[in-house]
Amino acid sequence: MNIDPAKLLRQALDAAIASAQAENCLPAYLPRPGKGRTLVIGAGKASASMAQTLEKHWQGELSGLIVTQYGYAVPCKQIEIVEAAHPVPDQAGMDAAQRMLELISHLQADDQVICLISGGGSSLLALPAPGISLQQKQSINQSLLKCGASISEINCVRRHLSAIKGGRLAAACHPAKVVSLLISDVPGDDPVNIASGPTVGDPSSCTEALAVIDRYQIKLPMQIQQALLNNELESIKPDDARLEGNSSHLIATPQKALLAATDFIQKSGFDTHILSDRIEGESRHVGSTLAAIALQTSLYAQPFKPPCAILSGGETTVTVKGEGKGGRNVECLLSMAIALRGRAHIYALAADTDGVDGREPIAGAIITPDTLKRAREKYIDPLQALDQNDGHGFFQALGDSVITGPTQTNVNDFRMMLVLGKY
């Protein structure tokens, strides 16, 4: 089979990303215009593109406000687009959240709200609960991102420290009905975890949020700790009457993206296998486990027979201890490369479908059988890079970074291994 493995890996990533573009997944879920006003609000890395697509396919008047990440804005005619920071919130996001609450404060029962939500909304739609400053929220958020907590644990805390997430945005829209269109970037696709669930009821409690804080030894100001202990920061619950009649629709998910990549790879003549769309855990541990699966496939044709493609998605975590640039996908790949030890005929790609892995404007990277050999020739120590959480530095030095630019969507991590060798 005459192929360019690196090119095929990149094309599969592009197919996954294309399937989650708003133009390809949003129009089928648009509600009909109602008797009253239609107001469009939302947040996330894909939200501006979603708003643009909505305008293109909508018959009638629209107005609204969307907040997206810096560099992710696209032109809209009726809906205002504001940019803010991710993954740590900033003043621009806080101001946008406050304005959004003001926009929905006088809605009537005949009005409808279309809420466009995608990954990144937790940071972008940042309005701390009363008594919590933006600086305190930023500090807590940074600690959560570095401690190794899962995204569901992080978002549990975020929901309880917010004045807009955890169902509060939808409750503020009452009596208007809210239709939420969601692009999922979280394992399991639970709407309560997508952008920390601003328009859906939250079954978790202040007690659970405190348990996450304690588990990862996050330092909280005393007044916030006490407010959680006294249940003063409780979120909106699923049975709240203000949420009655609202609806939520998952228009793009990690699984759909993996299936799109599968369709592409199969047309190239490969058997394909999806391990899971919701793999979590420490990035380096996931990387070594995936390497073990690839080696078993290569050596013994178990559990799959080569040549084949093995895909997975989800959201791993990095417990940052070193001084490197971080990035969960490049850390996963670096660990995988170390475990593979240059095994012939095995190639892999891991990338974040939003185009940003960690805080670098780099989606991820590719490994090849000669990755470690080329690193040695440049006097780069892969183990030291892993210890320093410097996957980005490692792959940049080799010229193996994957750069997509802003993709205008986010369906979480995309990982693919090509096992070409015969057992």
**271-300 confidence digits (pLDDT tens):** 999 999 999 999 999 999 999 999 999 999
Position 237 scores a pLDDT of: 98
Sign, CA torsion 226/231/236/238: positive
> 269 forms bridges with which residues in the sheet?
none
Tell me how far apart the alpha carbons of residues 357 and 21 are, in angstroms, rounded to a whole number: 19
Under a CB-based contact definition with an 8 Å cutoff, are residues 419 and 21 in contact? Answer: no
Other Cβ atoms within 10 Å of 120 Cβ, number: 27
Q: Give percent of the chain with pLDDT exceeding 90.
A: 95
Buried/exposed code over 58-76 (b: 16+ C-beta within 10 A; e: otherwise): beeebebbbbbbeebbbeb
Convert the pLDDT of each residue in 11-59 to its tens digit: 999 999 999 999 999 999 999 999 999 999 999 999 999 999 999 999 9
Other Cβ atoms within 10 Å of 93 Cβ, number: 27
Q: Which amino acid, residue 122?
A: S
Position 320 scores a pLDDT of: 86
Position 326 scores a pLDDT of: 82
The owner of tokens 């959680």 is 228
Position 423 scores a pLDDT of: 58
Q: Which CATH superfamily is domain 5-16+255-419 in?
A: MOFRL domain (3.40.1480.10)
The owner of tokens 């304690």 is 214
Average pLDDT for 94-123: 97
Convert the pLDDT of each residue in 395-418 to its tens digit: 999 999 999 999 999 999 999 999
Convert the pLDDT of each residue in 124-153 to its tens digit: 999 999 999 999 999 999 999 989 899 999
Considering only CA atoms, which of 184, 194, 187 is closest in space to residue 19? 184
Sign, CA torsion 186/190/192/194: positive
Convert the pLDDT of each residue in 211-254 to its tens digit: 999 999 999 999 999 999 999 999 999 999 999 999 999 999 99
User: Would the pLDDT of 1 be above 70?
Assistant: no
User: Would the pLDDT of 107 be above 80?
Assistant: yes
Buried/exposed code over 155-167 (b: 16+ C-beta within 10 A; e: otherwise): bbbbbbbbbbbbb
User: Would the pLDDT of 190 be above 70?
Assistant: yes
User: Would the pLDDT of 422 be above 80?
Assistant: no
Q: Who contacts 145 (Cβ-Cβ below 8 Å, separation ≥6)? A: 87, 88, 154
- Secondary structure letter of residue 296 according to DSSP: H
Under a CB-based contact definition with an 8 Å cutoff, are residues 93 and 126 in contact? Answer: yes
Position 146 scores a pLDDT of: 87
Q: Mean pLDDT score of the chain, rounded to an integer?
A: 96
Domain range annotation of the chain: 5-16+255-419, 31-252
The owner of tokens 């998952």 is 250
Instruction: Tell me the whole-structure pTM to 2 decimals.
Output: 0.94
Other Cβ atoms within 10 Å of 4 Cβ, number: 10
Structural fold of domain 31-252: Rossmann fold (3.40.50)
